[in-house]
Amino acid sequence: MKIAWPYSPAQYERVVNAWQGIMASPSVRVAADCGYRNAAGPVPDTTLYELVMSDGAATDDVEAHTLTLFSWSDYSGDCCDVVNARVLAEEFPGWVCLSENGTHGDGSAWIQVGEAWPDSEDTEDAVQRLELLARIVESTTDNPLLSDDAHSEHMTRLANENWDQYLGSDLSIEVSKLIHEVDVQVPLVAMYYGHPVVDHNDYADWLWDTFEDRFRVAYYEYPDNEWYCEGATNVVNAAHEKAMKYAARTVFGWIV
């Protein structure tokens, strides 16, 4: 086995302690790379020794092991997992890897067990980088979110994506219902696909096709929106109805 990093005995002990601390974190999963990733359970000390000395590469005696630091999907995990994964991938590029947009919204941040920071200047720098990663991962046990700013960005991204996924369609239906509730006067001059608008249903379709973009802006600009995460890949606006009526007043001038 070729030794990748000339760790001193003291440095080796620090490296092992750091890896063990990372693997002890509740969010972390370990898998042996046997052509696919499968549950491997705890990494034995002898395996960890070889992986540390081989810089994470498989040897004649052990398979490489992948450490999943945070993972999520449309059905599991929460927004903290997504945010923390992105923070680590940005903080440790080329070392902590980020996978996103799987079949069911699957994503994860992962690293090879035993691999050192690839851009380390020397052995001590490699050890310190690993210890920093360990401290960050271990800190999520008591403080599950690594960055409030990254969390806000994640929420905003999901809120904007929701419009094309379902929110815009839902709001078009709600606007149609609102037209009937407030008994909006149908203008005689409105034309929809070359035909005159003659009833509330036609008028609702014409309004949405004409003003959807402006309605979207007004909805998102409602000052009291209350977005919250529902799982890892979706957000919900607790002030949805208020935002909808605010947009209707702003764009259409309705008294609602």
Each residue of 69-88: pLDDT tens digit?
999 999 999 999 999 999 99
In angstroms, rounded to a whole number, what is the distance separating the alpha carbons of residues 234 and 109?
19
Asked if residue 21 and residue 130 are part of one domain, the reply reads yes
Say whether pLDDT at 248 is over 90: yes
Q: Which pLDDT does position 32 carry in this prediction?
A: 80
Assigned domain for 3 exists: no
Q: How confident is the model at residue 186 (pLDDT cuts 50, 70, 90)?
A: confident
The answer to whether residues 218 and 247 touch, using CB atoms and an 8 Å cutoff, is: yes
Side-chain half-sphere of 26: how many Cα atoms within 13 Å?
A: 8
Say whether pLDDT at 130 is over 50: yes
Say whether pLDDT at 205 is over 90: no
Assigned domain for 87 exists: yes
Which residue segment(s) compose the domain that 223 sits in?
A: 149-252
Q: Which of 93, 112, 146 lies at the terminal end of a domain, its last residue?
A: 146
Note the pTM of the prediction, 2 decimals: 0.85
Asked if residue 142 and residue 36 are part of one domain, the reply reads yes
Assigned domain for 4 exists: no
Spell out the alpha helix ranges (H) of the chain.
Answer: 9-23, 45-53, 79-91, 123-139, 148-162, 168-182, 200-221, 240-252
Q: Which pLDDT does position 35 carry in this prediction?
A: 46
Asked if residue 214 and residue 136 are part of one domain, the reply reads no
Assigned domain for 1 exists: no
Say whether pLDDT at 31 is over 90: no
Asked if residue 125 and residue 40 are part of one domain, the reply reads yes
Q: Which of 129, 146, 163 lies at the terminal end of a domain, its last residue?
A: 146
Asked if residue 142 and residue 21 are part of one domain, the reply reads yes
Among the ranges 113-127, 175-189, 190-204, which has the highest mean pLDDT value? Answer: 113-127
Asked if residue 194 and residue 133 are part of one domain, the reply reads no
Assigned domain for 156 exists: yes
Q: How confident is the model at residue 194 (pLDDT cuts 50, 70, 90)?
A: low
The answer to whether residues 97 and 109 touch, using CB atoms and an 8 Å cutoff, is: yes
Average confidence (pLDDT) over 205-231: 94
Assigned domain for 25 exists: yes
Look-up of token digits 């070359």: 194
3-state helix, strand, coil split of the chain in percent (to 5) is 50, 15, 40
Q: Which pLDDT does position 222 carry in this prediction?
A: 98
Asked if residue 140 and residue 18 are part of one domain, the reply reads yes
Q: Which pLDDT does position 1 carry in this prediction?
A: 45
The answer to whether residues 210 and 204 touch, using CB atoms and an 8 Å cutoff, is: no
Say whether pLDDT at 221 is over 50: yes
Asked if residue 86 and residue 29 are part of one domain, the reply reads yes
In angstroms, rounded to a whole number, what is the distance separating the alpha carbons of residues 139 and 27?
11
Query: 191-192 and 227-229 as β-strands: parallel, antiparallel, unpaired?
Result: unpaired
Q: Which of 113, 146, 179 lies at the terminal end of a domain, its last residue?
A: 146
Higher-pLDDT residue of 187 and 114 is 114
Asked if residue 114 and residue 154 are part of one domain, the reply reads no
Asked if residue 212 and residue 189 are part of one domain, the reply reads yes
Asked if residue 156 and residue 243 are part of one domain, the reply reads yes
Q: How many domains does the chain have?
A: 2
Asked if residue 236 and residue 136 are part of one domain, the reply reads no
Higher-pLDDT residue of 39 and 209 is 209
Q: Which pLDDT does position 41 carry in this prediction?
A: 63
Q: Which pLDDT does position 67 carry in this prediction?
A: 94
Q: Which pLDDT does position 34 carry in this prediction?
A: 58
Q: Which residues pair with 195 in a beta bridge?
A: 192
Which residues make Cβ contacts (< 8 Å) with residue 84, sequence separation at least 6?
27, 69, 70, 109, 140, 144, 145, 146
Q: What is the pLDDT of residues 236-247, one digit of tens each?
A: 999 999 999 999
Assigned domain for 102 exists: yes
* Measured CA distances, 80 to 2, 24, 144, 216, 256 (Å): 39, 18, 7, 27, 37
Assigned domain for 126 exists: yes
Pick the closest to residue 232 from 71, 104, 79, 69 (CA basis).
Answer: 79
